[in-house]
Structure 1
């Protein structure tokens, strides 16, 4: 096992990222392919197989040099059977069989998990989690996902829904979520949620604000634009950011009070707001946590960026063979 290599695959709706890594987590080769979602996503698994086999040949490597392939995927993942269903951004509406097909075509053991869980493993292993045994991860993107590592192991729950932090209820009378209930964190603090909050608050705001003028002119906005205006002390933008970070701080405090991890790591596109976001979330996190958690669970920004997925995917091999 010591001299074996790992393959990490980060499967997304736009691109598929690949990496060949050492057992110690050093990336030796990295590449990507465009995700072809045509024909109900039927090209995706063959493309992954072709890409891996092509690159092994390119680097003059043989299958017996590898301990395994790990992959993070959107959708509902059955880790035991290695299947995925309901990954709509991949056009996978019906059951697909990545494990069966990739193992057969490559001859290398294959392991799969949800993409947010995989990113959590990556940040825990080689990122902001400092390889601690207890780390929670939240990714703020178009939606909100997450992953929880407790006592050194990734939590899945009885039906695979552990770590779905985007559906923590923070405002019971709030926005209707795609999951069917109201007030989920995702409806407020995701990239799309932030835009919705900004639009609604702008309708009620009567003061001077460049963000309000931007919205009143009918221009498109994004979470980044909201934070950029806030950084210029735009009054409305600051109110929007305060509302978002209040609910985010509340949700993270609930995670902290329940799990008391060493770190809660914040990633995803919204986290690009950096310390401007982190310090405001930290204020509310401190308000809603009790002293032992407040003093010992720390909030951190993710550090791996685009490689979190492939690093975490590769670590799935280690997670599944460590016993």
Structure 2
């Protein structure tokens, strides 16, 4: 589905690590990771990003795509805030990188990049209406509508993590926070125990699946996607929460919508970087159908 054949650099900037890779002839190559100097000054973080980009100059890439958590002013290329990098407040990231390297830069939210990566390279390629959900330390989501990434004002669309649910929000019940709070264990530990037949672990994922099913129903009411792609570390435990999730979804008010929904599990290793490089094509192709 991805049409651009020129080299593109993709970056995934997180609070712990910065990852990058270059897309050459449709294949992601030379994937590297460096630690994020998250507690340092804005200038220091920017210099680290620029230094990392410099390591890829030999590929003569023509553009750079960047996924980053937080809200972003897309028109100005400004990162408005980034909770896990305290110094990143109103950062003119696009201008900084373009001035240094003389190449176009495209930036979007990392959860949006996940959805776009799955749509362009992964499990959701044959669908036009998709929601990507990442289940990990937090809950992230991105939207593909009519074959294009939809991100709303300041990349704030699809923030189901903060939608009220059972006195809290969906992230409270649909992320690792749920397992740590209710069972005192990380989902990775519970997954290993579930594989061994541990009843408490299997019960934990059964409960988790019910909450995730409620999240999916919420998404169905708003967007009625053809497919939902699940990513993030918790996706590995899908066999243990699949049934309870589907049971919740089966109660959806409009069976003609829910019965046709396909729930897919991400198989891409570097979805965020795939999505970052896909931003280049997404932004340079006219959007006429939204």
Normalising by structure 1, what TM-score?
A: 0.81
Give the match's secondary structure for 2:41.
Answer: helix
**Which residue in 2 is equivalent to 1:140?**
135
Give the match's secondary structure for 1:49.
Answer: helix
Give the match's secondary structure for 2:204.
Answer: helix
**Which residue in 2 is equivalent to 1:51?**
52
Q: 2:118 aligns with which of 99, 104, 123?
A: 123
Once residues 253 and 198 of structure 2 are traced to their aligned partners in structure 1, the CA distance between those partners, rounded to angstroms, is 30
Structure 1 residue 11 and structure 2 residue 21: aligned?
A: no
Bigger shift: 151-160 or 247-256? 151-160
**Which residue in 1 is equivalent to 2:65?**
70
Once residues 104 and 265 of structure 1 are traced to their aligned partners in structure 2, the CA distance between those partners, rounded to angstroms, is 36
* 15 and 225 in structure 1: CA distance in 2 versus 1, 3 angstrom threshold: same
Larger radius of gyration: 1
Once residues 189 and 31 of structure 2 are traced to their aligned partners in structure 1, the CA distance between those partners, rounded to angstroms, is 32
Q: Is the 8 A contact 1:256 1:289 kept in 2?
A: no
Once residues 131 and 27 of structure 1 are traced to their aligned partners in structure 2, the CA distance between those partners, rounded to angstroms, is 21
The alpha-carbon deviation at position 149 of structure 1 amounts to 0.6
Once residues 234 and 160 of structure 1 are traced to their aligned partners in structure 2, the CA distance between those partners, rounded to angstroms, is 41
The alpha-carbon deviation at position 134 of structure 1 amounts to 0.9
Q: Which runs of 5+ in 2 are unaligned?
A: none
**Which residue in 1 is equivalent to 2:187?**
223
Q: Is the 8 A contact 1:170 1:250 kept in 2?
A: no
Q: Is the 8 A contact 1:257 1:293 kept in 2?
A: no
Q: 1:293 aligns with which of 257, 276, 286?
A: 257
Matches within 5 A, 1:79-228: 79-171=74-166, 174=167, 182=168, 184-199=169-184, 221-228=185-192
Once residues 150 and 98 of structure 1 are traced to their aligned partners in structure 2, the CA distance between those partners, rounded to angstroms, is 27
Once residues 254 and 44 of structure 2 are traced to their aligned partners in structure 1, the CA distance between those partners, rounded to angstroms, is 51
RMSD: 2.1
Structure 1 residue 319 and structure 2 residue 288: aligned?
A: no
**Which residue in 2 is equivalent to 1:245?**
209
The alpha-carbon deviation at position 294 of structure 1 amounts to 2.4
> How many correspondences in the alignment?
284
Once residues 289 and 298 of structure 1 are traced to their aligned partners in structure 2, the CA distance between those partners, rounded to angstroms, is 17
Normalising by structure 2, what TM-score?
A: 0.89
The alpha-carbon deviation at position 249 of structure 1 amounts to 0.4
Once residues 188 and 32 of structure 2 are traced to their aligned partners in structure 1, the CA distance between those partners, rounded to angstroms, is 28
Bigger shift: 143-152 or 76-85? 76-85
Once residues 289 and 197 of structure 1 are traced to their aligned partners in structure 2, the CA distance between those partners, rounded to angstroms, is 29
Q: Is the 8 A contact 2:13 2:19 kept in 1?
A: yes
In terms of fraction of residues, the more strand-rich structure is 2
